[in-house]
Structure 1
Amino acid sequence: MTPAVVEDEPGRRLGGPRLLQRLPIVLRLVIAVAAAMSLVLGGAAALVYWRVETALDQQLDADLATYHHDLVRDLRAGRSLSGPDGSAYQILDRRGRIVAASGLVRTERLLTAAEIKAATDGATIHRDIGGLLPLDPHTLRLTAERVRPSHQRTVIAVAALRRGHRDEALRELLAQLGIAAGLTLLAASYVGYRTARAALDPVERYRHRAATLADGAPRIRLPVPEDRDDEITRLGHTLNQMLDRLEASAERERRFVADASHELRTPLSLLRAELDVALHRPRSADELIETLRSVDAEVQRLIDLSNALLDLEELGSSKHITRAPEDLAELVDTAISADVQAAAHAGRSLTVDAASTTVNVDARWLRPAIGNLISNALRHGQGDVHVTATATEGRLRLTVTDEGPGFPPEFLPRAFDRFTRAEASRTSEGSGLGLAFAAAIAAAHGGTAHAENTPTGSAVTLDLPC
């Protein structure tokens, strides 16, 4: 037969397994429970039926063997043949003709021609007449074998007993097992349905709450009970963590846009002002060159600011750090090479104390972080700048110190925030992203950044695993 199919989409047909997958989870669980329970109940019923049938057959076979023994004994002794209630006998000659028989089977021969031949050859015949279904009042179990009465020809003695009581007991057992299995299956399906509903109700609540989130409601989290620790509860906690990350990502994007628009507004306004002034009246060549230099400086500031914002966003969104073995002394020397000349022009010294050891870091990001700290010290600090780099017990500690007035106390808690400047004691040069960039790189490595004042100036430290 061709399996039933239903139309899913135009041009497509959906078979049984695919149709089952489209059913609700609760219904699929109930079907699975019902199928499993059907197998279990069917196996249990078959086992019970087999055990009862075996016991009844053993008893019937024992009674039949006793009756057959008595029949053969009487036949050999020449006594009249008889038997208990529900018994029957036939005595057949070698040609299969009925020589003697009880009233129940007086006219119909109980053995086939093949069985008569087998019994004549010495075999013992043992079989049933009639089946369990349909109902038949004349079902028998018989046994037959060759017998030679004294001074007579060999005959075949057939002893039979009615199977009515045995078959009736088995039919009643089948009916009781069917009723019990049906009721048990209904109960198991109901319990499975209620259990599945109870297990999936939290998921449905999560779905309703997620629909509220999809409508744009802020700061909504899934209702996860705190007094349980099961699969659904852990799913709720995971989804809430995901929502936290999504909200943090959205907040980071909003902050990026706000920071970019705020910081780009000033250089763009200055560019517009410079160009407006230059176009307001005719200018000499020197004035135009000065204007272009000012414009070039603002354009460079825009480029630096855009690059810094993009680097921060890359670190904050992916934290993609690729560690590789690096020589610490060479790493620091490379990082400060761009600032050595700037320090010399300012009449200040830049010294390094770095251990010659191998560290496992991402040099692509760590070099500009060190460079930012040094540039920040040269731009805003005073006196000599000193870089210390040590690696002990799997931790890399990088410290940049200067001899300036230090950070204002109110600035220290927010020193690593974006676009924050210590305006009270430092000039307004720079974008306020240097320390934030260094802190982001430390965090991406799994470390921290710390700023403090020292008796001789200020110090910024990066502490990260290596």
Structure 2
Amino acid sequence: MELETLARYTKGSSSKSGFVPRLKRIFLGSVRVRTSVAATAVVGIALAVSSMVLVGVLSNQLKANLIANAKNEAASTVDLIRSGELANPIPLPSGDLAAQVLDGSGRVLASTSNVTGKGPFVGIAFIKSKLTQEIVSISNWTIQPAGDTDSRALLIVHKVQGGSKANINIDSTYTSLVNAQASAGLSKVTPVPLENGHTPNLYVAVIASLASVDQPIKFLIPALTIGGLMLLVIVGFATFYLTGRAFRPVDQMISDAKDITGTSLHRRVFEPEGDDEISRLAVTMNRMLERLEESAESSRRFVADASHELKSPISALQTSLEVSLLRPQEADWPRVALDGLTEAHRMQTLVEDLLILAKADAGRLKLKFESVDLDELVIEEARRARSRTTSKIRLSSVSGGRVIGEAEKLRSVVRNLMENAIRHCESTVSIALKQEGSSVVFEVLDDGPGVPEADRETIFRRFVRLDESRSRGDGGSGLGLAITKSIVEAHLGRIWVEDNNLTGKGARFVVVLPAADPSFTSQPLEITP
């Protein structure tokens, strides 16, 4: 079994370390490479589409110009025939055009010089059948001697209706061309032959060679291809270079982050100048490292403080037992057992408090929500506290107030705040409770030294004791207010401390919780002392 596993591992490792996987990791594992490839691909697609559009538009425009020229030359020839004259060779200025004049039997009466001596372009039957379609594509035609060897052409056919001679206003430019060639002996103008005293039906066929369209396109396509490839190479290298410069701070951040361990959370990653995404990422990472450092430091302090708090009752218990065992006959064993039980209760309370805080930190502080009369909890805890202290506890400002929550957890809040006030008051603790709109406000006021403004957030942290107002000898572990804050926030409430303005000194702890019935109006309660 071990050999098979080793063989599979070796095979998997060898396949992963081959040339192709390494190549994939290099090219696909790099954002820089992927960005360059993507940019090149996008530009390539845009160039291909724009090139096709350019070629199509240019081809259509050239073809439209060629057709317009052919139509004009054909119309001029038709007008000359209608005026009763026929020029042979037909004077056409463009070498891309060729024209023939045919009679009804298909005999060529006149043609341009580049097709002199040749038969009809196409059969007369074909010409007659295509009269309704003015432009017809034909192939395998060569116009000489213009050097045009293109095999594609357009055929334009006009029928000249026979009859008597018509008075036609011929284009002066075309007339000048005809007269000039006739004077030079290059063309002969003769009357149109008559049949039975009338001009017969004649057909003017003009061929427009597509060479003037195809040749520019043939040169344009390779030029666009070569230029496009060169542009893609430039775009690829430029993108690769620019992304490399852009990601250079990221490489520095990665290097810095690799060097940060659990023991070096005080270090920070490089923050580039500017306000772009990379600089904001660096700032965010450094802030995260600050929070991690604070969390780690808080955890270290928490463990150290918890260990110290647990060590105190254990040491006291151990010392009591060791002293008693030195003189077992003289030891007051019931007293030793009572002291040990007290320390055990103290450790149990501390462990339970730590468990509550751990659950609150993990978001697992589960509550059984129900309707709770907070005023009843306040009165019950006040009576319990009165039996254990000589300080005055006033409840004259307690009205009805009902919230949604877990009764025992809320009882813990009330008890912790009362015990905290009793520990630090001089003589009097005042309790207030009332509903204000959709909130129930619970207040505990004392006439002690109060809490300095700079420490009003600190006292809700774990194992925090203010030098003048907190001490381990008073029975506090430094967890009561931290637990109270966690429970209040789990009930969607708020807690804070401020000055006691009623007495001019002391502290005022305020807890605000959502009311169970926002429409309820609280009334002062009649409380039996």
Q: Return the TM-score normalized by structure 1.
A: 0.74
> What amino acid is the match of 1:265?
K
Instruction: Compute the displacement of 1:375 (Å).
Output: 1.9
SS of equivalent residue, structure 2 residue 260: helix
Matched, 1:80 2:80: no
Residue of structure 1 equivalent to 2:301? 255
Residue of structure 2 equivalent to 1:3? none
Show CA shifts across 1:223-261 (max 9, x none). 335652x33333333323322222222222212211111
Q: 1:224 to 1:216 in 2, by over 3 A?
A: same
Structure 2 CA distance for aligned equivalents of residues 155 and 36 of structure 1: 58
Is 2:433–2:443's contact at 8 Å kept on the other side of the alignment?
yes
SS of equivalent residue, structure 1 residue 351: strand
Structure 2 CA distance for aligned equivalents of residues 438 and 360 of structure 1: 17
Residue of structure 2 equivalent to 1:448? 496
Greater relative CO, 1 or 2 (CA 8 Å, sep 6+): 2
Matched, 1:269 2:282: no
Instruction: Compute the displacement of 1:61 (Å).
Output: 1.4
Identity among equivalent pairs (%): 24
Matched, 1:461 2:509: yes
Structure 2 CA distance for aligned equivalents of residues 137 and 243 of structure 1: 77
Show CA shifts across 1:148-176 (max 9, x none). 66428756542224443443333344344
Instruction: Compute the displacement of 1:423 (Å).
Output: 7.2
Residue of structure 1 equivalent to 2:288? 242
Match of 1:89 among 90, 94, 99: 99
Residue of structure 1 equivalent to 2:144? none
Residue of structure 1 equivalent to 2:524? none
Q: How do 1:15-94 and structure 2 match up within 5 A? A: 22-72=28-78, 77-84=85-92, 85-86=94-95, 87-90=97-100
Instruction: Compute the displacement of 1:10 (Å).
Output: 7.3
Structure 2 CA distance for aligned equivalents of residues 410 and 233 of structure 1: 36
Residue of structure 2 equivalent to 1:351? 394
Residue of structure 1 equivalent to 2:525? none
Matched, 1:298 2:310: no
Residue of structure 2 equivalent to 1:111? 122
Show CA shifts across 1:6-47 (max 9, x none). x99979xx9xxx999934222222222223223333343344
Structure 2 CA distance for aligned equivalents of residues 114 and 350 of structure 1: 124
Show CA shifts across 1:369-395 (max 9, x none). 221121234456554432123565888
Structure 2 CA distance for aligned equivalents of residues 297 and 186 of structure 1: 83
Residue of structure 2 equivalent to 1:430? 476
Matched, 1:142 2:190: no
Match of 1:207 among 248, 254, 264: 254
> What amino acid is the match of 1:82?
I
Q: 1:279 to 1:68 in 2, by over 3 A?
A: same
Is 2:33–2:240's contact at 8 Å kept on the other side of the alignment?
yes
Structure 1 CA distance for aligned equivalents of residues 33 and 310 of structure 2: 58
Q: 1:288 to 1:455 in 2, by over 3 A?
A: same
Is 1:390–1:396's contact at 8 Å kept on the other side of the alignment?
yes
Show CA shifts across 1:110-150 (max 9, x none). 4379844623x75534225369xxx9624443323455664
Q: 1:186 to 1:325 in 2, by over 3 A?
A: farther
Is 1:71–1:159's contact at 8 Å kept on the other side of the alignment?
no
Structure 2 CA distance for aligned equivalents of residues 8 and 174 of structure 1: 48
Is 2:36–2:236's contact at 8 Å kept on the other side of the alignment?
yes
Q: 1:422 to 1:207 in 2, by over 3 A?
A: closer
Structure 2 gap ranges (5+): 1-11, 142-146, 163-193, 515-529
Match of 1:312 among 339, 354, 357: 357
Is 1:332–1:370's contact at 8 Å kept on the other side of the alignment?
no
Q: 1:326 to 1:122 in 2, by over 3 A?
A: closer
Structure 1 or 2, whichever has the larger Rg, is 2
Is 1:88–1:102's contact at 8 Å kept on the other side of the alignment?
yes
> What amino acid is the match of 1:88?
A
Q: 1:206 to 1:321 in 2, by over 3 A?
A: farther
Q: Return the TM-score normalized by structure 2.
A: 0.67
Q: 1:429 to 1:72 in 2, by over 3 A?
A: closer
Residue of structure 2 equivalent to 1:4? none
Structure 1 CA distance for aligned equivalents of residues 277 and 89 of structure 2: 77
Residue of structure 1 equivalent to 2:221? 174
Deviates more, 1:449-458 or 1:245-254: 449-458
Is 2:495–2:509's contact at 8 Å kept on the other side of the alignment?
no
Is 1:387–1:401's contact at 8 Å kept on the other side of the alignment?
yes
Structure 1 CA distance for aligned equivalents of residues 252 and 328 of structure 2: 72
Structure 2 CA distance for aligned equivalents of residues 220 and 206 of structure 1: 12
Structure 2 CA distance for aligned equivalents of residues 255 and 130 of structure 1: 96
Q: 1:325 to 1:271 in 2, by over 3 A?
A: closer
> What amino acid is the match of 1:299?
A
Structure 1 gap ranges (5+): 1-6
Is 2:445–2:508's contact at 8 Å kept on the other side of the alignment?
yes
> What amino acid is the match of 2:98?
A
Match of 1:341 among 376, 384, 397: 384
SS of equivalent residue, structure 1 residue 137: coil
Show CA shifts across 1:325-346 (max 9, x none). 977xx31431452452342354
Matched, 1:373 2:417: yes
Structure 2 CA distance for aligned equivalents of residues 408 and 446 of structure 1: 18
Structure 1 CA distance for aligned equivalents of residues 332 and 344 of structure 2: 18
Q: 1:125 to 1:421 in 2, by over 3 A?
A: closer
SS of equivalent residue, structure 1 residue 449: strand
> What amino acid is the match of 1:246?
L
Alignment root-mean-square deviation, CA: 4.7
Aligned length: 446
